[in-house]
Chains A and B, each alone.
Chain A
Amino acid sequence: MYTNTNIISEYSQGPSFGGVGEADGDLVINVGPQHPATHGVLHLVITLNGETIKKVEPHLGYIHRSIEKMCESLTYRQFIYVTSRMDYLSSHINNQACALVVEKGMQIEVPERAQVIRVIMAELTRIASHELWWGAMAMDIGAFTPFFHAFRERETINDIMEKTCGARLTMNYMVPGGVMQELHPDFQKDVKAFIQLFKSKVHEYDEMVTGNIIFQNRMKGVGFLSKEEAISFGCTGPTARGSGVSCDIRKLYPYDVYSKVQFDEVIETAGDSLARYMVRIKELHQSIRIIEQLIDNIPEGDFQAKTKAVLKLPKGEFYTRVETARGEFGVYIVSEGGTTPYRIKFRSPGFSNLSALDTMARGEKLGDLVAMMGTLDLVIPDIDR
């Protein structure tokens, strides 16, 4: 573990000592890396004037595992599983991106059954990720009970995943060519039961948290991000859609069977924390809609296309993008024709979303910082890779 004595000694001085080039009377505090509200090891150095934030500077790298360098020695079948550990809350969707890029490079045709299964798993993962986001966000704002309600639904999804994929968090289920194994016989029944449970309980979310006047006062008008800034900072996903930017990859560049299902792209124009919150809550409903359309119509067929044992991408460059729960996840592979990639770059959504935090936070109070970080939905391993 490294120590950075310069930063620690500078920032632990008392209130009247200036920090790095700050005016007199400014307080420099550290939030994290171990902190209940940052949901991961994120170190923020905040310059405060009283309670008003003047600058937020993220220090990253506490969970950097050099995944990109590691993947240069992993074969095209192996590197997929490393990506589950990047954004562990949307692990299926990350795996889907990697499988798609290999299929694009090798021109593999994925059977329809596998595509439908992939989409159902991806949407279930999206719901699980938004549930955890909602519970953790409410807990940060101070309401402790919704966390347990959110996990009640998430546990059901995890149980469904466990029966089919064998794991509850890093489900390594997608492979180039389809999915790894056949669905569990109870899958359709379990998912339908889950849909019924979800529909009966989702009104609780609105009653408990969304409609609560204290909550709305904490979120309305806080952390404004304009449309131009969202595009300039490269924000994607619900962060950008809350500011009016239309960027849902499932609609713009459809992959698997997304072009065949009916769902709406949820956009809010207010640009504040409440708008980003409402985008995610409405996305939950849209995901249930997609699953409902697909669960009864899973076509028969193979769950995996026949591929060679050793995969080799031809010489060239390939880029695929998918819509994870956080935004656009891109995989860029430069291949020299071998069994391992020459250079692989993961374009993670959290990296760009985090760069907007400084602009959003200037002029707000310290208590609002927690609300803003909650609506950005940061997962730090996704940022540090």
Chain B
Amino acid sequence: MVTEELKTRITELLPAAAFEEAGEWLNIIIDPNDWLLFAGKLSNDEQLYFDFLFCLTCIDWKTHLTMVYHLTSTKFRHNIVVKAKLDSNSPEIETVSLIWKTAEFHEREVYEMFGVNFLNHPDLRLLILPDGWEAKNPMRKDFEDPVNMIKL
């Protein structure tokens, strides 16, 4: 489906979605509270069928955090990007690991690097960082480490 058709279909599913034209794919900005239902509809919808979550990450914009989800469909081969703005002080969003199982590991990584709390995640704990790094959130822009060199 081309961009216009995607826009129409997504507005039908979630009227509050906003669109942005950054990058080569359609970007959809949503409210974090709508994410779980919207994700379920995206993956099950007959015309959209986004069954492959291939990238899940987070960007720290200093005033807020943005969760970025890259989705594609193995049937129709269209790609979209879903973004949700989170508050810097207490970032929370619903987990999608029940819809796309790959999210389990990716969300654990975002949790330890950025401090985002994923509600109802089956096993939210540190993945790559060793013990003792809880709540340090090293990928945030305000992370200070006097011992190790961060800025090269």
Q: Interface on A for B, CB 8 Å cutoff? A: 2, 4, 6, 60-61, 64, 66, 68-70, 73-74, 229, 231-234, 236, 245-247, 252, 316-319, 321, 328, 330, 332, 334, 342-343, 345, 347, 351-352, 354-355, 384-385
Find chain A residues with CB under 8 A from B151 CB. 73
Q: Mark B28-59, 1 if CB is under 8 A from A, else 0.
A: 00000000000000000000000111110101
A-B interface, 3 closest residue pairs, ranked by CB to CB distance from nearest? A234-B102, A61-B128, A2-B130
Q: A234-B54, A321-B54 are in contact. List 13 more A-B contacts (CB 8 A).
A: A2-B130, A2-B132, A6-B131, A64-B128, A64-B129, A231-B74, A234-B52, A234-B101, A234-B102, A318-B23, A343-B57, A347-B70, A385-B128
Residue contact B152 to A347, C-beta cutoff 8 Å: no
| CA of A297 to CA of B132, assembled, Å | 56
Residue contact A2 to B23, C-beta cutoff 8 Å: no
Contact pick for B24, options A68, A319, A330, A347, CB 8 Å: A319
| CA of A322 to CA of B60, assembled, Å | 26
- B window 71-129: CB within 8 A of A: 74, 77, 81, 100-102, 104-106, 126-129
Q: Is B139 an interface residue (CB 8 A)?
A: yes
Q: Is B22 an interface residue (CB 8 A)?
A: yes
Contact pick for A229, options B81, B101, B129, CB 8 Å: B101
Residue contact A234 to B130, C-beta cutoff 8 Å: no
| CA of A76 to CA of B60, assembled, Å | 20
Find chain B residues with CB under 8 A from A252 CB. 77
Q: How far is the CB of B55 from chain A (nearest CB, A)?
A: 5
Residue contact A233 to B127, C-beta cutoff 8 Å: no
Q: How far is the CB of B100 from chain A (nearest CB, A)?
A: 6
Find chain B residues with CB under 8 A from A354 CB. 105
Return the chain B residue nearest A334 by Cβ. Answer: B59
Where chain B touches its partner, the secondary structure class is loop
Contact pick for B128, options A60, A70, A231, A232, CB 8 Å: A60
Residue contact B101 to A330, C-beta cutoff 8 Å: no
Residue contact A355 to B57, C-beta cutoff 8 Å: no
Contact pick for A231, options B22, B51, B57, CB 8 Å: B51
Find chain A residues with CB under 8 A from B106 CB. 351
Residue contact B57 to A332, C-beta cutoff 8 Å: yes
Q: Can you give 8 A-B contacts (C-beta < 8 A)?
A: A61-B130, A229-B101, A246-B74, A318-B23, A343-B57, A345-B57, A351-B106, A354-B105
Return the chain A residue nearest B130 by Cβ. Answer: A2
Return the chain B residue nearest A105 by Cβ. Answer: B23
Where chain A touches its partner, the secondary structure class is mixed
Find chain B residues with CB under 8 A from A64 CB. 128-129
Q: Is B147 an interface residue (CB 8 A)?
A: no
Residue contact B150 to A69, C-beta cutoff 8 Å: yes
Q: Interface on B for A, CB 8 Å cutoff? A: 22-25, 51-55, 57, 59-60, 68, 70, 74, 77, 81, 100-102, 104-106, 126-132, 138-139, 150-152
| CA of A292 to CA of B44, assembled, Å | 43
| CA of A286 to CA of B64, assembled, Å | 47
Residue contact A234 to B53, C-beta cutoff 8 Å: yes
Q: How far is the CB of A289 from chain B (nearest CB, A)?
A: 25
Residue contact A4 to B130, C-beta cutoff 8 Å: yes
Return the chain B residue nearest A5 by Cβ. Answer: B131
| CA of A61 to CA of B25, assembled, Å | 32
| CA of A252 to CA of B52, assembled, Å | 14
Find chain B residues with CB under 8 A from A2 CB. 130-132
Return the chain A residue nearest B132 by Cβ. Answer: A2
Task: With a 10 A CB-CB cut-off, give which of A64, A233, A245, A321 has the most chain B CB atoms.
Answer: A233
Return the chain A residue nearest B151 by Cβ. Answer: A73
Task: With a 10 A CB-CB cut-off, give which of A60, A236, A316, A318 has the most chain B CB atoms.
Answer: A60
Q: How far is the CB of B111 from chain A (nearest CB, A)?
A: 14
| CA of A340 to CA of B130, assembled, Å | 28
Residue contact A73 to B130, C-beta cutoff 8 Å: no
Find chain A residues with CB under 8 A from B138 CB. 66, 69
Contact pick for A233, options B23, B59, B101, CB 8 Å: B101
Q: How far is the CB of A65 from chain B (nearest CB, A)?
A: 10
Residue contact B104 to A355, C-beta cutoff 8 Å: yes
Contact pick for B101, options A4, A232, A316, CB 8 Å: A232
Contact pick for B74, options A229, A247, A318, A328, CB 8 Å: A247
Find chain A residues with CB under 8 A from B70 CB. 319, 330, 332, 347
| CA of A355 to CA of B108, assembled, Å | 12
Contact pick for A317, options B23, B77, B130, CB 8 Å: B23
Q: How far is the CB of A15 from chain B (nearest CB, A)?
A: 25
| CA of A252 to CA of B106, assembled, Å | 24
| CA of A247 to CA of B77, assembled, Å | 10
| CA of A334 to CA of B60, assembled, Å | 11
Q: How far is the CB of A57 from chain B (nearest CB, A)?
A: 9
Residue contact B127 to A61, C-beta cutoff 8 Å: yes
Contact pick for A332, options B55, B101, B132, CB 8 Å: B55
Are A330 and B54 CB-contacts (below 8 A) given A66-B138, A68-B139? Answer: yes
